[in-house]
Amino acid sequence: PSSARRRLTQHRKPANTNVGKDAEVLRAFYQRLFPFKYLFQWLNHSPTTTTDFSNRELAFVLPNDAYIRYQSFNSAEELRKQCIQLTPTRFEIGPVYSANPRDRKTLRNASAFRPLAKELVFDIDMTDYDEIRTCCSGASICQKCWQFITMAIKVIDKALRDDFGFKHIMWVYSGRRGAHAWISDKRAREMDDNKRRSIAGYLELLKGGDKTGKKVNLRRPLHP
């Protein structure tokens, strides 16, 4: 897996020539299907409002490729209304800040606005297995090569639970070519970057870049 992420990352998207049509489809999706209530409860870590949700940053990617950061909401209904109005093609989940992200420019002390917590996230990408899978390549996947992702999930999930004691782990399809693990334990959310890197390093077995011949270097004692 790649190292755990704490901040939002920006992504470039190709130009969309069907903005109007896509917006109508997305509006219907947000009105009828998207589970805003459950998203709120998950990111809020409670069915009732806390600062875990109201001080959390969300970033929207709009149908015209505009990228809007520092959005925040006090409830699932507020988020729902904004999504229906703006019809984002996706939104990205950021950290919980010390203050409401919308109010960051009004704070007298700019340094007081800082990230406090973020779920511990691990990525598994199908492209990591391009050298050993023989059916697909790149972002293409099939039932055969997806078994690599399935095995990686089982190994990493067991390590996170048994070796680190995490309990609240949710695995989700990345939407394109892999899977993400979101760890919501309070202890995990409040880890600093050094601790996150240490956990990622503990799980890392493959070393080197694309041109490295030998990538698996086993040491004694063997990794658990």
What amino acid positions are annotated as catalytic residues?
57, 123, 125
Give one word for 172, left, alpha or beta, with left for phi > 0 and alpha for psi -120 to 50.
beta
Are 115 and 72 within 8 A, CB to CB? no
| Virtual torsion, Cα 49, 40, 97, 89, nearest 10 deg | -150
Dist CA 57 CA 9 (whole Å): 12
Kindly write down the DSSP assignment for every residue of 57-116, as one continuous string.
EEEEE-TT--EEEEE--SSHHHHHHHHHHH--SEEEEEEEESS-GGGGGG-SSGGG--EE
Dist CA 135 CA 150 (whole Å): 16
| Residue 62: both structure tokens together | 């709009």
**Closest Cα partner for 37 from 25, 45, 47?**
47
| Residue 120: both structure tokens together | 């511990």
Bridge pairing between strands 169-173 and 178-183: antiparallel
